[in-house]
């Protein structure tokens, strides 16, 4: 482990682990379709906002439905997270779709055509 590991990075790692567990084990929303993976969590230095980058394997409709459901369940996820992680103020959660896998697939497809 590096000598300097800021608190925001430690809390972001903990949030990533716990939210992934909540999504896979406790969130029972039929709108969540396809395979959902929590790719990264970016936390502001003041710990007020957490951006959660989510990858969804599936069609565009499944991705849209899943992101809508995650944003709708944000309060529930934040409440459960607050019970598991003891910090003074739980950050506001923002879900964003990670499109890096889509870009990677497109590049691979273009290279295969060449």
pLDDT for res 114: 76
23 touches 36 (CB < 8 A):
yes
Give pLDDT tens digits for 14-49: 999 999 999 999 998 888 888 899 999 999 988 999
Structure tokens at 25: 């084990």
The pairing of strands 92-97 and 35-43 is unpaired
Q: Is the pLDDT of residue 99 over 90?
A: no
- Residue boundaries of the structural domains of the chain: 7-113
Range list of β-strands (E), the chain = 35-43, 49-57, 92-97
Ordered strands of the 49-57 beta sheet: 35-43, 49-57, 92-97
CA–centroid distance for 59 within its chain: 18
| Average pLDDT estimate for 48-72 | 93
Fold of 7-113: GMP Synthetase; Chain A, domain 3 (3.30.300)
| Average pLDDT estimate for 47-57 | 93
90 touches 79 (CB < 8 A):
no
97 touches 56 (CB < 8 A):
yes
38 touches 52 (CB < 8 A):
yes
Give pLDDT tens digits for 102-113: 777 778 777 888
């Amino acid at each position: 482990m590096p000598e300097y590991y800021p608190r925001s990075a430690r809390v972001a790692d903990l949030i990533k682990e716990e939210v992934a567990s909540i999504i896979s084990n406790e969130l029972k929303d039929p709108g969540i379709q396809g395979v959902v993976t929590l790719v990264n969590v970016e936390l502001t230095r003041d710990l007020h906002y957490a951006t959660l980058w989510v990858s969804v394997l599936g069609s565009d409709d499944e991705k849209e439905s899943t992101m809508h459901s995650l944003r709708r369940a944000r309060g529930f996820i934040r409440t459960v997270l607050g019970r598991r992680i003891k910090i003074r103020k739980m950050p506001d959660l923002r879900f964003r779709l990670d499109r890096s896998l889509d870009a990677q697939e497109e590049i691979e497809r273009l290279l295969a055509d060449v």
